[in-house]
Amino acid sequence: MIKATYKKYILNFKNPSGTSRGVLKTKETWFLMLESDGKFGVGETGLFRGLSSDDVPEYEEKLIWVCKNIHLGLPTLLMQLSAFPSIQFGLEQAFLSLNSTSEFELFPSDFTTKKSPININGLVWMGDKQFMKNQIIEKISAGFSCIKMKIGAIDFETELALLKSIRKEFSEADIELRVDANGAFKVTHALEKLKRLSELELHSIEQPIQPRQYQEMALLCEQTPLPIALDEELIGVHSTKEKELILSTIKPHYIILKPSLIGGFSGAKEWISIAENNNADWWITSALESNVGLNAIAQFTYTLQNNLPQGLGTGGLFTNNFESPLEVTNGKLLYNSDKKWHFKV
């Protein structure tokens, strides 16, 4: 018999982190914990206030329901939780953890056993020009060959000048630059901005306009000189039919998968299958989970053998994250099995 409990945990940022939605100082998250026959399993339900489609008043009530009905088993629970993708993600982890020989080794591979690393991008948060420039220099010094910069919060001309200054010092061969607009561009100005950004030899731009403007985004993807990646567009889309319609209509160059926001590993696999059928590539990104969720996403990502830099460099953002074997070295994420987990909530 399985006993299930849950607990809320507040992650504190080392430095306030700026996005187009405002400045983040804390990140709320929840843990599902399973016990059976002396074994323990844990999963992180990475709720993201203001972004998750399951950011609803009855979220905790649903966690209580899950714990009371854990006997239904994983497949049944997942089917009944389509409107709660972060809880689906936490459940998948918790059951994998419970059934594993080591509670934090969910997908055994060379990543967990041989310290084989995952190539990741360095993340540059929004702020004033000097703050952003300092972050870029820091990421380059730390060995990152791919940098993702959030744009859309300060003046576009300032952001453009900053990107130009990077390109003067570092060519496309030196540093791959990705930008993430988080839907900040108005439809009427988006194409012009994409043209100007494309002159800087960027890899791609994430979500230039707000989601659910399918025809406008489709036209942008058709006309843009800069490859477009969908991100927020995938959040809150639960049916296979709707996923297929979105990707066949918009025809993006890339999609970005956040397991906490799209129904966990099973949700990510479905999106990947549909993307590949529509000639779109993809990469996986964490969504400010603790090291528990990040570890699960990283192990899952490694098994997929995608060679693009992944968005998994968020483990060092918090003052009260859990000690774990995850390390970022020379722009890569690795699992140093010589280090131990210290998880307590």
Asked whether residue 57 falls in the same domain as residue 118, the answer is no
Same domain, 55 and 127: no
Do 79 and 156 fall into the same domain?
no
Of 139, 148, 258, 332, the active-site residue reads 258
CATH (domain of 73): 3.30.390.10
Residue 45: which domain range?
Answer: 3-98
Residue 103 belongs to some domain of the structure: no
pLDDT digits (tens, 9 = 90+) for 272-303: 999 999 999 999 999 999 999 999 999 999 99
The catalytically annotated residue of 150, 193, 243, 332 is: 150
Mean pLDDT lowest among 98-102, 219-223, 287-291, 312-316: 312-316
The answer to whether residue 340 sits within a structural domain is no
Q: Which of 184, 279, 202, 235 is nearest to 50 (CA)?
A: 235
Q: What is the pLDDT of residues 76-97, one digit of tens each?
A: 999 999 999 999 999 999 999 9
Helix (H, G, I), strand (E, B) or coil at 101: coil
pLDDT digits (tens, 9 = 90+) for 120-153: 999 888 777 788 788 888 998 999 999 998 888 7
DSSP H stretches of helix in the chain: 59-68, 74-80, 85-98, 110-113, 129-141, 156-169, 187-198, 214-223, 240-250, 259-262, 264-277, 291-304
In total, how many domains does the chain have? Answer: 2
* Residues 181 and 327 grouped into a single domain: yes
Q: Which of 98, 129, 157 is the last residue before a domain boundary?
A: 98
Asked if residue 306 is part of any domain, the answer here is: yes
Q: Give the per-residue pLDDT at 18.
A: 64
Note whether 158 and 18 are same-domain residues: no
**What pLDDT, on a 0 to 100 scale, did the predictor assign at position 126?**
74
User: In this structure, is residue 254 part of a structural domain?
Assistant: yes
Q: Are residues 183 and 34 in the same domain?
A: no
Say whether both 184 and 302 belong to one domain: yes
| Domain-embedded: residue 344 | no
CATH number for the domain that contains residue 259 = 3.20.20.120
Annotation says 344 is catalytic: no
Structural contact between residues 147 and 137, judged by C-beta atoms closer than 8 angstroms: no
Which pTM value belongs to this model?
A: 0.95
Residue 276 is which amino acid?
A: E
Q: Is 345 a member of any domain?
A: no
Active site residue 150: yes
- Using the CB atoms, write b or e for 179-206: b if 16+ within 10 Å: bbbbbbbeeeebbebbeebeeeebbbbb
74, 98, 122 - which closes a domain: 98
Residues 6+ apart with CB under 8 A from 306: 282, 283, 284
- Which of 46, 65, 98 delimits the end of a domain? 98
Instruction: Give the pLDDT confidence of 6-48 residue by residue, as tens digits.
Output: 999 999 999 877 665 677 889 999 999 999 999 999 999 999 9
Verify that 259 and 326 share a domain, yes or no.
yes
Would you state the pLDDT for residue 179?
95
47 plus 126 within the same structural domain: no
Q: Helix/strand/coil (H, E, C) string of 228-245?
A: EEECHHHCCCCCHHHHHH
Burial of residue 41 (CB within 10 Å: 0-12, 13-18, 19+) is buried
Per-residue confidence band for 219, with pLDDT thresholds at 50, 70 and 90:
very high
